[in-house]
Amino acid sequence: METITLSPEELARVLRLVTITDREYGASRICRFLAVNPSARTRSVNVECSVSNISDLVTKMINPRVESMGLMVGCTRPFRPFKNRYGQDTAENLWSWYRDPANNPDYNNLDADLDDLADQHPELLTDGPGDEQAVNAWVDDLAGAEK
């Protein structure tokens, strides 16, 4: 899926759907920030929007309310993990607005892409845990399919 920015009109409509009172809270701040900052790091969203649990607000307060507009907020893992100040990998994601995946042409090919991956890596369909190397290859193939 491709990240998007929201037009001022789309943002205004999103804010009407997400804002419960006349004051903006975390969900509204996330919507406003991501409207002009696609692929924002988790840390940036946390700091700029003064929220700690982004996924909770997205899941409960944003996506159900903007679904009718064919929009959603989602996150993806970066190709290389971000490092903290100690050089350790973080679990930070990249947050963005997306058009509804059901209306995305790439989404329509998802079943065929998964069938191709299953053909390439049949060991993942067997009972029991797959070996880590096969799982990593499968994940790498999925990441390549997203490009």
Place of tokens 């971000």: 82
**36-46 burial by CB neighbour count: b if 16+ within 10 A, else e?**
ebbebbbeebb
Residue 9: pLDDT band (50, 70, 90) is very high
**Looking at the predicted structure, is the pLDDT value of residue 36 above 90?**
yes
pLDDT score recorded for residue 7 = 95
pLDDT score recorded for residue 21 = 84
Place of tokens 């999103």: 14
Cα 82 from Cα 90, distance rounded (Å):
6
Count each helix (H run) and each strand (E run) in the chain, helices first.
8, 4
pLDDT tens, residue by residue, 83-128: 999 999 999 999 999 997 655 555 556 566 667 777 777 766 664 5
CA dihedral 10, 40, 101, 63 (to 10 degrees): -60
Cα 120 from Cα 17, distance rounded (Å):
44
Any bridge partners for residue 41, and if so which? Answer: 94
Q: Average pLDDT in the 59-68 region?
A: 95
pLDDT score recorded for residue 114 = 67
Cα Dmax for the chain: 55
Structure tokens at 26: 């975390």
| Whether the Cβ atoms of residue 124 and residue 130 lie closer than 8 Å to each other | yes
